[in-house]
Chains A and B, each alone.
Chain A
C-alpha cells in the first residue's frame, strides 16, 4: 500500500511545499516573532512612544494575582469545554451513524452551529440566559433557582462553557462521524458474532479504532479553547463577574485591545503560545503512544 514518489527535479518538491510554507511564515512565524519583540517593549496605544524595557512586562505580569487566577480559570474552562464537547459530539456521532431515516437532515442540523461566528453565538446565549428577560432564565427562575450570571461566578462559568461547547460540538461531530464510518463493518460484525454486546463492542472495538480521530480532535480542541473562545467570553460575560470568566486569552484581548497595553498583552500571548506548544508536544509524546493507527 505504501506509495513513494521520486522527484527528478530537485526544486519541484520545494516549489510544491512553498505555498504552505509561505502561509505558515506570513500567518504564524511573522506575527509570532512580532509578538515576542513587542513583549519587550513599552508602547502607548497609538505607537507614538516605544521603549525597550527588557523583561519588565513579564515581571509586571507575574506580580499580578489576577494573572494566576486567569491561569486557573483557563484550566477549569478548557477541561470542561474539551471534555464536554468531545464526549457529547461522540455520543451524537454514534447515534447518527445508525441507520436513521432522516439522517441527512439530522447531520446537517448538527453541523449548523459551526457556521455561527463566536461573537454571534455569545450574544445568542447571552440573550437566552439574560437573568430577567432571557427565554431560558425565566423558567429557571420560575423553578426557584436564583439564576444570576451577572454576579454568580458558577453561573457565569456554566454559561460560557455551554456557549463554547455548543459551538465546538459540530466540528467534533463531523470528524467523529467520518471516523466511525471508516471503521470496517466486518470487524464490528465479527465482534457481534462472538457475542459482544453493543456497549462492549463500542469500548473494545469502535473506541480504540477511533483513537486517531479522538487524538486529533483533542489537540484541535485544546487549541480552540485556548485561542478561539475570547469572542464568546466577550459577548457573554465580558470576563466577569469579578474576573471569574477571564481566561488567559481573554486577558490578552482585554489588556491589549481595551487597555491599550500592547507590551503586556504581547507578553501574555508569548506565554500562552509557550503553554500551547508544550501541551501539544506532551500530547504527541505521551498520548499518541496509546493511539492505534
Chain B
C-alpha cells in the first residue's frame, strides 16, 4: 500500500515537473529503441524541435531493443495508452500494417494536418519498404541502413590480399588466406544470420524470398528461398564452418565486436555499424558492397534496407496529430537530414539530403558511408528486390536462423534445413494471414 501511494505521489510530482515549464504545450510521446550515440541523436532531435516552437513538446523514451519497443507499444495499445509515435524495426512492418485501426498512416496524417508533403521527395528504395503497393506512405522512415561487408584493410594486407574481394568465391579464397595468416578462429563472419544469408542474399541475386513480390503485394505469400542457389550458398558456408574459414556469428549483432577486436577481418553487417566501428576499431577499415556469385545472371541486383521507421498510433486527438505532422516535416528538412546522415551513418531519407551530401563532397572523404547507398541504388529494383513484408517476421527470422544453425552444426543437410525453414515459415504466414483479414 505504502509503495503504491509513493508511486502515485512520484507520478504526480513527475507530471507536474514535466508540465510546468512546457506552458501547456501538447505532449507527443515518442517511444524508441536507440542506444549509445544514436540515443543522443534522438534526444537532440526532440530538444531542437521543442526549442523551435512552443505548441508541442516531443518526449522521447527509450523502451529497450527493437522487439521490446514494439511489444511495449502493442501492450500499451491493448491497455489503451499507446504513445503517439513508436519506432518499429523493418521486420515489424507487416505486423504494423496488418493492424488497421491501431495505426494512423503517415500519408493520411500529413494530409489531414495540412502539412506540405511530397512522397516523391523521399528516396524510393527506402520509402518503398514502408508504402502500400499504391505508393501511399504508411510509416515515416527514420534510421535506415543496408548490409555491407566490413573490411579490416591492415589484416588483409598482412595476409597478402591486395584487392578487396567482390564475389563470394573471392571472399572464400581471401578467408582461407586470412586463416593461413593466423586468423585460426575466423576467416570471415557476419551478424544478423538470416538478414545476410536469406534476405539480402536473395535481393542481391534477384531471386525471390517469397511469392507476391516478397509479400509486398499481399499476405497470401509463400516462401521460396530453398532454391538451388540458396542451397549452394548455405552448403558453401557449412563446408567452410568445419575449419572456421567461416565462423557463424549469431542471429543478432552481438558479435560485431569480433570485427573491431581484429579477430574477423571480413565481416558482413549493417552499414549502421559505422559509428561503433569508428569508435572501437584500432585499424584501417572500410566497407565494400556485399559479395555475389558471378555465375548468377544479373547479380548484383540491389540491396534492401534495414533499420526502423516511425509509426503513428491511432485513436489520438487531431491537435496531437498536427504536432506529429509538424515533427515529421521538421525531420525531413534537407540540412537536418544531411547532418543526421553524415553524423550517424544512417542513410539520408530525402533525395535532396543525398544530393547535398554529394555536393558537399562528403563521400570523397567518407566513401564508407556511400557503400550502402550505392548498393540500394545499384539497379532499378525488381519484384525480388523492392523489399519484403512477411507477417510474424520477428519470430520467423528466429526460425530461419534456427535452421541455418542446424545446418552449420551438421545436424541437417543444407537442403533439408532450408526446406524446413520454408515449411515452418509458411505455416507461420498462414497463421498470420488468418488474423490479418
Contacts and interface: CB of A to CB of B under 8 A. Distances in A.
Interface of A: 42-49, 60, 66, 130, 132-133, 141, 150-153, 238-243, 254-255, 257-261, 264
B102 to A, nearest CB: 4
Given A44-B435, A132-B258, A258-B394, A150 B74 contact: no
Given A133-B257, A153-B409, A240-B251, A46 B78 contact: yes
B375 interface: no
B394 to A, nearest CB: 5
A260 B185 CA distance: 38
Contact of A254 (B77, B395, B434, B437): B395
B428 A46 contact: no
A47 B186 contact: no
Contact of B409 (A43, A239, A242, A261): A242
B434 A42 contact: yes
A60 B185 contact: no
Nearest to B78: A47
A66 B424 CA distance: 10
B320 interface: no
A49 B78 contact: no
Given A46-B78, A151-B408, A132 B248 contact: no
Contacts of B222: none
A94 to B, nearest CB: 38
Given A151-B409, A242-B409, A260-B95, A49 B435 contact: yes
B398 interface: yes
A49 B409 contact: no
Contacts of A240: 251, 398, 401-402, 405
Given A42-B435, A48-B102, A243 B74 contact: no
A132 B435 contact: no
B67 A258 contact: yes
A262 B324 CA distance: 31
Nearest to A241: B405
Contacts of B431: 60, 261, 264
B261 interface: yes
Interface in B300-326: none
A69 to B, nearest CB: 11
Closest 8 CB pairs of A and B: A259-B395, A44-B435, A242-B406, A241-B405, A242-B405, A46-B99, A46-B102, A258-B395
A255 B395 contact: yes
Contacts of B402: 240-243
A132 B185 contact: yes
Contacts of A264: 431
B250 interface: yes
B152 interface: no
Contacts of B424: 66
A132 B71 contact: no
Given A133-B258, A242-B403, A258-B394, A45 B409 contact: no
Interface string B64-84: 000100010010011000000
Contacts of A151: 241, 248, 405, 408-409
Interface residues of B, number: 44
B247 to A, nearest CB: 8
Contacts of B437: 49
B261 A152 contact: no
Contacts of B248: 150-151
B101 interface: yes
Contacts of B252: 238
A260 B392 contact: yes
Contacts of A150: 248-250, 255, 405
B181 interface: no
A241 B98 contact: no
A153 B257 CA distance: 23
A254 to B, nearest CB: 6
B263 interface: yes
B250 to A, nearest CB: 5
Contacts of A259: 392, 394-395, 428
B74 A260 contact: yes
Nearest to B82: A46
B343 to A, nearest CB: 28
B24 interface: no
A133 B185 CA distance: 12
Contact of B411 (A130, A133, A239, A242): A242
Interface in B392-419: 392, 394-395, 398, 401-403, 405-406, 408-409, 411
Contacts of A45: 74, 95, 99, 435
A120 to B, nearest CB: 14
B409 A241 contact: yes
B87 to A, nearest CB: 17
A5 B135 CA distance: 77
Given A151-B248, A260-B74, A261-B431, A132 B261 contact: yes
Contacts of A258: 67, 71, 394-395, 398
A261 B241 CA distance: 34
Contact of A46 (B74, B258, B434): B74
Given A42-B434, A46-B78, A48-B99, 14 more contacts: A44-B435, A49-B436, A49-B437, A132-B258, A141-B185, A150-B405, A240-B398, A240-B402, A241-B405, A241-B409, A242-B402, A255-B395, A258-B394, A260-B95
B100 interface: yes
Nearest to B77: A46
27 contacts: A42-B434, A44-B99, A46-B74, A48-B99, A49-B436, A66-B424, A130-B254, A130-B255, A132-B255, A132-B263, A133-B258, A150-B255, A151-B405, A151-B409, A238-B251, A241-B402, A241-B406, A242-B403, A242-B405, A242-B409, A254-B398, A257-B67, A259-B394, A260-B95, A260-B394, A261-B392, A264-B431
Nearest to A255: B395
Contacts of B411: 153, 242
A183 B250 CA distance: 51
A61 B241 CA distance: 33
Nearest to B250: A150
Contacts of A257: 67, 71
A132 to B, nearest CB: 5
A243 B424 CA distance: 13
Contacts of B255: 130, 132, 150
Interface string B371-404: 0000000000000000000001011001001110
